[in-house]
Amino acid sequence: MGTLRSFVASYPEFLLAALSFLSLALLRLALRSRQLLVPVSWPVVGMLPFVFGNLGRLLDAAMDALRECGCTFMFRGPWLAGADFLVTCDPAVVHHCLAANFGNYDKGRGFAEMFEVVGDGLLVADAASWARQRLVVAAVFASPAFRTFVLSTMARQAERLVAFLDHAAGGVVELEDVFTRFSLDVSYASVFADDLGTLSFAAVAAGAPVPAFGEATRVASEAVLFRHVVPAWWWKLLRWLNVGIERRHAEAKAVLDDVVYREIEKRKKSQPLIAGGQGDGGDLLSMFMAWPRDPSMSDRERDQFLRDAVVGYMFAAKDLIVAALTWFSYMLCTHPHVEAAILAELKSLRPTATGGKGGQHAVFDADALRSAPYLHAAVLETLRLFPPAPFEEKEALGEDVLPDGTRVAKGTPIVFCIYAMGRIDGIWGDDCHEFRPERWLTGSGRVRHEPSHKFAVFNCGPRSCLGRNLGLSNLKIAAAAIIYNFQLELVEGQVVEPLNSVVLHTKNGLRVRVVRREAA
């Protein structure tokens, strides 16, 4: 009995010692793994030490591993955790899974759970639900009314961005924060035909908080990232307990729901619908509400469809604008010869709007920028090196054999590393790490087409992004307005590198000095 009491008394110390030993062992493995390009699957912990050893540079570590492994490898998680998944950046595999054998690979229920905030929208929907939604979204996006409305909205918001930067001229701004506010205004106006007013110089200078709707989108994005980096049981426990980031996520989702559903009800009462798919305006919500109703849908189901559609669009549009413009600006700051070439190209065009004192500020619309192939090439080159969504996820519905001979079991998650795909010399050549817009131009100066399974920034196959051309036009409008009117100078001493996230933001922001072009 005395021996038993002694063991019980010493049990906490024994447990502490065991945990300390395991922690030190894991740390040692992490340090050793950091020195290895190819992940090693250790007993019990699998390849987890590789992740811990490269937490600050996970995307680049994955790129190095993929290069060494021939563009595909199986990541092994801890024993019994069910955390194994296939990682690839092989264009042949991308084409096989996302196009040729598209029916065997779905988003999976786990993916939809992590992106709970967008409901059952097109971003996460599978099978029949996806097919129905894509039919409606494709028709809306192809509508001249919607395209005209979105592009005119971007041009108007670009004028406000120019005005904001003009106020800030001579000083330093955190550009990623500016683009975050700008993207919220653009996406909100495109959906609701209303101004959120986030990018106000007076409000920013006074430190005024982002409006509740904008703050809700930020919190929701953080929650999606959190769900990606912790075990599913952990965030589900927090959700059940309603604490921490999961509580803030639920509150943010409630704010989004409240705004969107109130707007839907307001439109029902005030906007007559016109047969043929046109309502009172070309904004996204009006276009969706004017679409012929599915008779099998109840009022509640239709409202849910409208809510999911507009929230999903806002998240996709916002993330593209923020990430792409931030990295595009950084590339121009570090490649002045590219900036000079774009500026020369823009000076050969006629601005479509002027403003500011004496009308010295200019903005170009999408039609004018059709004659700016070098600008287009520079945007594509930015997206190649810094894709806003650095990876894509799928799940195998059945057994399969990939083009490289890799066998895939049913239920295997597959991660397509889009970030790595743009930086592998076997795909893009020995200069793949260089920012060189010329690679996108033919000998005659036209923009070169690359297959989507090689340049998968806008996905590939049946799920290819419907808003690709519209998104590129929006980016060019904003980029041209900035380049033509201002010179951005990178503040010295800062480290600009990618954040490990579901959206490729910078880790520490992007601080630049804004100089008016005439004074540059």
Q: Tell me the Cα Rg of the chain.
A: 25
Residue 417 marked in a binding site: no
Max Cα distance, the chain (Å): 95
Write the DSSP assignment of 206-224 as a string of letters.
TTPPPPHHHHHHHHHHHHH
- State how far the Cα of 198 lies from the Cα of 383, in Å rounded to an integer: 26
For 386-428, the DSSP string reads S-SS-EEEEEESS-EE-TTS-EE-TT-EEEEEHHHHTT-HHHH
What is the rounded distance in angstroms from the CA atom of residue 518 to the CA atom of residue 520? 6
Structure tokens at 327: 């990295």
Q: What is the DSSP string of 225-244?
A: HHHHHS-HHHHHHHHHHT-H
Helix, strand, or coil (residue 110): helix
Integer CA distances (angstroms), 306 to 18, 438, 459, in order:
53, 42, 24
Helices 244-270, 212-229: inter-axial angle, 10-degree rounding: 140
Burial of 155 (0-12, 13-18, 19+ CB in 10 A): buried
Residue 467: its H or E element = none
* H or E element at residue 488: strand 486-490
As given in the structure block, the two tokens for residue 345 are 């190209």
Q: How far apart are CA 411 and CA 395, in angstroms?
A: 6
The Cα–Cα gap between 68 and 63 comes to 9
CA distance 91 to 93: 5
Report d(CA 134, CA 129) in Å as an integer: 9
Contacts for 447-453: CB closer than 8 Å, 24+ residues apart:
447/373, 447/376, 447/377, 447/380, 451/91, 451/95, 452/99, 453/91, 453/92, 453/94, 453/95, 453/98, 453/99
Cα separation, 149 vs 322, in Å, equals 20
Half-sphere exposure of 392 (CA within 13 A, CB side): 28
Residues of each annotated binding site for heme: 465
Which positions make up the binding site?
465
